[in-house]
Amino acid sequence: MSKLNLSRRLILVPVLLMLHWPMGLQAAPDEPSQRLLQMLDYVGVDYPPTVENGQVVDPVEYAEMEEFSGEIINLLRKMPEHEGKNILLANAAEVQSGISQRVNGEEISRLTQALKAALISNYNIVVGPKKAPDMAAVQALFESNCASCHGVMGYGDGPLANGMEPPPGNFHDMSRQYTRSIYDLYNTITLGVPETPMLSFAHLSDDQRWALAMMVGQYSVSEEQLARGKLLWQQGVLRTHIKELPNLTGSSYAMAEEWSQIDGNPRQDGSAVLAYLRSKPEELEISDHAALDASIAMLATSLELARKGDRKAAHSAALSAYLDGFELAEPALVVVDRQLKLAIEKEMISFREAAKKGSVAQLEELQERLVVLLNEARQTLNTTSMSKGAAFFGAFIILLREGVEAILVLAAIMAALIKTGRRDAMKYIHIGWISAVILGIVTWWVADNLIQISGAGRELTEGFAALFAAAILVYVGFWLHNASHSQRWKKFVEHKIGNAMEGGTLWVLATVAFLAVYREMFETVLFYQAMWVQVEAGSERSFLLGILAALALLVVISVLIYKVGVKLPIRQFFQINAILLFLLAVVFTGQGIAALQEAGIVSASLLDFPRIEVLGVYPTAQSLGLQLIVLMLGAGLLMYQKKAN
């Protein structure tokens, strides 16, 4: 090898040392696979400048590329036998042939990149660390080991660089970083380059070598690119391609741009995302949770739309961030961290209102807080899986919470019918609640197999059903209280009860039964659908037992209400039932308005007021205001009726 060739390799060694591809098998420094990947990377990066329009520009470098292409084939032959080995050898021969024919540099880079990817895939070579490296002391590590040639900031201007020909690599030069991955850098740091001053740095810990590789891999990007990459990553760009650290450390900017183009996005979006992830590898250590990822993505989209001045689209994306994202993870999160769930809900409301107003500065602040909270939720859900206890408790609480309201309505009406001797009219109530249960099951099946019920669709159904039920409950409560008066009761008995509840009234009661049960069924089955995917293997039985336990307790509650009701004097019974139904109307009103607020139909003005979901109390001016009106209406009707009688 000529002195010139040796000299230039002495200098390129430190450059390569920080510039190579995804970590292999964590093997010994002389592992053929690591050497092979290093050689492929070297050829892919250094061949393009040696040939221009089919003419050799640098004869010495070109001769070296010819030598290395032959060495690639030799190293590949040393690899263990594998069914895909012959194809890999054919690809290596294509690289060698291309170099001998002096094809353009882009073609050789493409061939070497493809061969590296195939080699890693065929031999299952590990190309990433087990965890993100500790970057705390990496700058000092770089200065003590690399800065003498590459300079403190990696521009290739270190004190020993003067007079070197060619000069040490400039890590800020994207043209040399474009086809290199973090593993390429790690690999060269680990192995060094034979016959050059670039010795192996295998004496450093594995974490230190990965930290150096990560650091050098960040030099060639701008702050604007990082900011853009962060937003794109939050929107979900490249999430199907980069899921774990090995995907990140084994990817080059060329690969990321190709993936982005395949996904229908601009090529430069891929580079921006990869740049961001190289600066924040810890992003990949939180396991994926689709619902929360979707929420983070839509928040980023909403912010971007707001910056463009499209308030309507920004508000729509903000709604989707909650309805089609966070709400699906809500049932699982409330079991393990209720306060975190409430905090996210509150910030989501504020974000939606800010999006509606087009307040970009406020949106930016809220989005930052929400991303932190959602990542915390994702980490909580992934580190606190739905164990047997959590699966049982979650399934139990959800059904019990939703069922109690329906039971109170049904029990009040059914007890009234029994109390008045109208057992024949019970069939109307049974028709109502059985229809609701059947339709609820059908809804689950349809949502699971035929269509995807949107978040807005869920909330609108729940909201309008709750408000309609509230209106009917006010009517039924008024009717019950009216029947409690002694003169009216006497008349009621004299007509042998039969004429007191005509067919129309009975169908109203059936409608109440249907709405009360279907609304709860609709919400429960969709929550269970979201929770089921969170249940860890082996906990499915506990989940089902939780449902059965809740059903059993609901039966007990129903019996108790019935027993208490039939023992009350008739007048007291009707008065208590009337008041109970008026109060349930207030609860349904709050729940209905809250659902419509989540669907974006009604605005939400937050108040400093306690949140009591089981009572339908939500801290917004709209829900509390309408509840107060319903409460005053009920009280007014009762007082008017008492005065009239």
pTM (2 d.p.)? 0.56
Q: Both 527 and 623 in a single domain?
A: yes
**397 found inside a domain:** no
CATH number at residue 309: 1.20.120
Tell me the pLDDT band of 489, cut-offs 50, 70 and 90: very low
Could you give the angle at the alpha carbon of 295 between the alpha carbons of 588 and 523, nearest 5°? 30
**DSSP β-bridge partners for residue 612:** 617
Residues 25 and 149 in one domain: yes
| Domain contains 271 | yes
Q: Pick the last residue of a domain from 384, 409, 436.
A: 384
Same domain (yes/no): 365, 490: no
pLDDT for res 479:
57
Amino acid identity at 507: W
Q: What is the pLDDT of residues 153-185, one digit of tens each?
A: 989 898 888 877 767 878 888 888 898 999 998
User: How many CB atoms neighbour CB 379 within 10 A?
Assistant: 15
Shared domain for 19 and 80, answered yes or no, is yes
pLDDT, tens digit (0-9, with 9 covering 90-100), for 98-136: 999 999 999 999 999 899 989 998 888 888 888 888 888
Rounded to 5°, angle at Cα 97 from 95 and 103: 80
Cβ atoms 484, 574 nearer than 8 A: yes
Same-domain status, 359 and 292:
yes
- Looking at the 3D structure of the chain, how many domains does it have? 4
Whether residues 296 and 227 fall in one domain: no
Whether 252 and 300 share a structural domain: no
* Range with the largest mean pLDDT of 86-90, 232-236, 398-402: 86-90
Domain residue limits at 81: 3-216
| 11-61 residue pLDDT tens | 333 333 333 333 333 434 446 788 899 889 889 988 999 999 899 998 988
- State which amino acid sits at residue 545: L
**pLDDT computed for residue 635 by the predictor:** 79
Q: At what angle do helices 327-336 and 388-419 cross, to 10 degrees?
A: 100
Distance CA 520, CA 592 (A): 12
- Measured CA to CA, the distance from residue 104 to residue 110 in angstroms comes to 10
Among the listed ranges 67-81, 371-385, 435-449, 527-541, which one has the minimum average pLDDT value? Answer: 527-541
Is the pLDDT confidence value at 492 over 60? no
pLDDT at site 108? 93
Rounded to an integer, what distance in angstroms lies between the CA atom of residue 338 and that of residue 336?
A: 6
pLDDT over threshold 80, residue 532: no
Note whether residue 154 is domain-resident.
Answer: yes
Please check whether residue 596 lies inside any domain of the structure: yes
* Final residue of a structural domain among 384, 408, 432: 384
Both 468 and 583 in one domain: the answer is yes
Q: Is residue 254 part of a domain?
A: yes
Do 456 and 342 fall within a single domain? Answer: no
Q: How confident is the model at residue 471 (pLDDT cuts 50, 70, 90)?
A: confident
Identify whether residues 274 and 295 lie together within a single domain. no
Q: Is residue 545 part of a domain?
A: no
- Mean pLDDT of the residues in the chain: 78
Q: Is residue 547 part of a domain?
A: no
Is 270 part of a structural domain of the chain?
Answer: yes
492 with 587, same domain: the answer is: yes
Are residues 207 and 226 part of one domain?
no
Beta-sheet pairing, 51-52 with 55-56? antiparallel
